[in-house]
Every structure is written in structure tokens, then in C-alpha cells.
Amino acid sequence: MARWFSIKPALTFKGRKFKGIRGFAGKPTHPPLTDIPIGAYVMAAVFDIIALLATDGSETAHNFFIAGTYVLAFGAIVSVPTALTGFWDWLKSTPKHTQARRTANTHMAIMLTVTTIVVVDLIVRWGDDLPTTLPVVLSVVVGGLVALGATYGGSLVYDYGFNIETSGDHPVWHESETDVYPGDH
């Protein structure tokens, strides 16, 4: 009978080289952390648009604006370790004068711009219960820029194979009923 699932190799750390805050070989720290700020910033923009559309001073407008503020703040908090691990990846893994480095620089510049705008947005929102145009515009700009920055980050991984440990002719692509673990060839 053919096996349908392979569970343990993806979850094991045995055989993976530890790379400090960058994570383990094949299990980098930065990519999974990025999901939280990206999702938070996009959701904050959505919540703010809903709140602005309900600007009659209603409880709905208030609740969506406050939810947008909390989500934006949570994304900003998680962006700190995300930025630190991304910086360390950039420092240790991108050789100078390469297309990968230039793409990583573009990704980093966009994401640092996003972070700056988020901080400004949070300051502008401080103490407000209902949306005004400025924080909504800022959160929409953040939502768009974070999507653009994530596109560059995704390009590093999917187009360039950045921080990918295996590629090409690897045993996981050979017909077999035996699982291959990290470090196995």
C-alpha cells in the first residue's frame, strides 16, 4: 500500500545545523514571523476602511477603528523580532554586489518604510475613538506597501532560493516509500 503522508521529517530538528537567531538549516526564523505583521497591517487597513464607511459615530465605527488600532499595534510589536531576524539573514546570507542583495535591500527599504509609517499611524491614532482620514490613509498605504515588500521577500525565497537548503535533484523527489530526514542524502 502506498503511503499518503510524510509527517516527521518536516517537524524534526535532528540533522539541521543551528544558525542562531536565523533559525535552523531548512527552518529559518524570519519567514514565519513575517506572516503576522503582513496579516495585521492588511487587516488594520480593512478595519479602518469599514470604520470610515460607518462614520456616523456608531458603535460599529468605533469598534472597527479600535480593532484596527490593536491589530496595527500587535503587528508593530511582532515586526521587531521579524526585522531582527531579517537583518541577520541579510547580513549573513546575501553576498555584496549580487542581484539577491539588491533585491533584499529593496525588500528591507520597503519594510523599514512600512514600520516608520506604522509608528506614525499609531501616534496619530493615540486617544482617538473614531476614525479620521489621516490614520485611515496611513493604514491603507501600509497595507499596500507591506504587500509590495512581501512580494520582494517572496521573490527572494521562491525565485532565488534564498535560505532554501535543498534544491535540484533531492531524494524527496525520487519515487520511494521511505522518508528522507534532514542531513540524509
Per residue in 171-181, pLDDT (tens digit) is 666 677 777 77
How large is the average pLDDT for residues 146-175? Answer: 79
Q: What is the pLDDT of residue 168?
A: 58
Percent of the chain with pLDDT over 70: 92
Q: What is the pLDDT of residue 166?
A: 60
Per residue in 57-67, pLDDT (tens digit) is 789 999 999 99
Percent of the chain with pLDDT over 90: 51
How large is the average pLDDT for residues 98-116? Answer: 94
Q: What is the mean pLDDT of the chain?
A: 88
Three cell numbers, residue 58: 456608531
How large is the average pLDDT for residues 74-101? Answer: 92
The verdict on pTM exceeding 0.85 is no
How large is the average pLDDT for residues 99-114? Answer: 95
Q: What is the pLDDT of residue 172?
A: 61
Distance of alpha carbon 57 from alpha carbon 9, whole angstroms: 54
Give the end-to-end CA distance of the chain in Å, rounded to a whole number.
24
Q: What is the pLDDT of residue 171?
A: 65
Q: What is the pLDDT of residue 169?
A: 63
Distance of alpha carbon 7 from alpha carbon 38, whole angstroms: 28
Instruction: Assess contact for 125 and 139: CB atoms under 8 A.
Output: no
Domain ranges of the chain: 18-162
Reply yes or no on whether the pLDDT at 165 is more than 80.
Answer: no
Distance of alpha carbon 153 from alpha carbon 34, whole angstroms: 9
Reply yes or no on whether the pLDDT at 167 is more than 60.
Answer: no
Q: What is the pLDDT of residue 130?
A: 79
Reply yes or no on whether the pLDDT at 155 is more than 80.
Answer: yes
